[in-house]
Structure formats: C-alpha cells, structure tokens
Amino acid sequence: MSENSKREFVGFTTVSLVVNDEARRIVVEPRTTLLDALRDELGLTGTKKACDRGECGACTVHIDGRRVLSCMTLAAMHAGKRIATIEGLERNGVLHPVQTAFIEHDGFQCGFCTSGQIMSAVAMIAEAKAGWPSAATDDIKRQFTLRELSKTEIRERMSGNLCRCACYPNIVDAIAEAVERG
C-alpha cells in the first residue's frame, strides 16, 4: 500500500526516523513493530524475524546506540531516533571489524541469527568500553575495562542471542578477536 493510500485510512501515523544515517519517513499503523517497519516499509531485511517474542535476539538493532529487540518495540515510539541495522555497519565497502571476525571465525552456519549476533556484539563491546559490568563481572564496584572482556564475560553479555546451529564457540572467538583488534 502506498504512503498516499495509507493516509486515507484513519489510525495511521507518520514516523520520521534516521535509519543507517539516512532520514526516513514511514506511514504505519500505530501497532507496527519496529521490526516490521524496517523489513516491510523500508526493505531492510537483514534484521531477522524469528521468534517475534523477544526471546532469540535475531532482530537486534541499535536505537541511539543501545541494542534493542526490534520485535518488542513499536516503530511509532522511536520518532526522531537514530536506528542502526546490520545494513548500516559497513562503511564505504569495508566491513565492520565484528563482521570480518565472524567471517574469519566461521561464526555462523545457517546465518539466520547472524545479523542479530553481530549487532548485539557491536553494542556489547561499546557497553564494555563504557565500563558496564555484567552478571559475570567479579567486582562490580570498580570500573570494568575492555581488557577484562574474557570469553566468560562475552558469553554472559551475549546470552540474549540464541543460535539454532550452536555456533557459540565460533561466535565467542569472533567477538574476542574483534575486541583484540580494537
């Protein structure tokens, strides 16, 4: 349905977003999830629709720099916000270091969870750089440092992202490698 024909229906709303550094306007029904808006309205199908219940992490995107399950939030709630999807990670044809590490460490098999895993990993590394502790952090009273991001820490911080193929060892190795490279 075109934007003009949607406006004829009562109950639709126009939402302005910045998606992958590009200003975008979409017309959606107010109950449209951000996941459905990204996939159906903007054609950004890298963000995967898997469980559609916030249980698997395949739909992870960044909203204003924070990782969010896009199936659990409404598009209309994010007017004016900056959204980053897997399509927005590469810059000028150069993959993000986490994307490169996933390829090098074979951090995927079927690939269905991969975009969510990568988006979560990028945000998780930023959280660790900012000093955020996790449930696996030994001493939460002192500032966490990136060099403390052990494989145990990575597994804990990535625990919201499930992999049907059980590529967890390769995923953890890929993230550790990306952190090491800086």
What percentage of residues in the chain have a pLDDT greater than 90?
Answer: 90
| Statement to judge: residues 54 and 115 lie in one domain | no
25 three-class SS: strand
The rounded distance, in Å, linking the Cα atoms of 13 and 90 is: 31
Domain at 130, CATH number: 1.10.150.120
pTM (predicted TM-score): 0.92
| Statement to judge: residues 80 and 102 lie in one domain | no
Quick one: pLDDT at residue 7? 54
**Mean pLDDT across the stretch 54-58?**
97
Quick one: pLDDT at residue 48? 97
Range of the domain at 23: 3-85
Answer with the residue of higher pLDDT: 91 or 2: 91
Answer with the residue of higher pLDDT: 59 or 5: 59
The reply to whether 147 falls in a domain is yes
Rg of the chain, C-alpha, whole Å:
17
Instruction: Kindly tell me the burial class for residue 145, based on how many C-beta atoms sit within 10 Å of its own C-beta (0-12, 13-18, 19 or more).
Output: exposed
The rounded distance, in Å, linking the Cα atoms of 51 and 59 is: 9
Exposure on the CB side of residue 94, measured as CA atoms within 13 A: 3
For residue 5, name the pLDDT band (cuts at 50, 70, 90): low
Q: Count structural domains, the chain.
A: 2
Q: Phi and psi for 100 in degrees, rounded to 5?
A: -60, -45
For residue 11, name the pLDDT band (cuts at 50, 70, 90): confident
Domain at 11, CATH number: 3.10.20.30
Quick one: pLDDT at residue 182? 80
The reply to whether 113 falls in a domain is yes
**Mean pLDDT across the stretch 72-90?**
97
In this structure, the dihedral spanned by the alpha carbons of residues 14, 66, 50 and 98, taken in order and rounded to 10 degrees, is 130
Quick one: pLDDT at residue 118? 98
Per residue in 110-165, pLDDT tens? 999 999 999 999 999 999 999 999 999 999 998 999 999 999 999 999 999 999 99
Q: Phi and psi for 73 in degrees, rounded to 5?
A: -140, 150
C-beta atoms surrounding 28 within 10 Å: 20
**Mean pLDDT across the stretch 54-63?**
97
The rounded distance, in Å, linking the Cα atoms of 174 and 158 is: 12
Would you say residue 30 has pLDDT above 90? Answer: yes
| Statement to judge: residues 9 and 57 lie in one domain | yes
Quick one: pLDDT at residue 2? 58
| Statement to judge: residues 17 and 48 lie in one domain | yes
Quick one: pLDDT at residue 9? 62
82: enclosing H helix or E strand: strand 82-84
| Statement to judge: residues 122 and 177 lie in one domain | yes
Exposure on the CB side of residue 81, measured as CA atoms within 13 A: 18
Would you say residue 6 has pLDDT above 60? Answer: no
Encoded tokens for 28? 């959606």
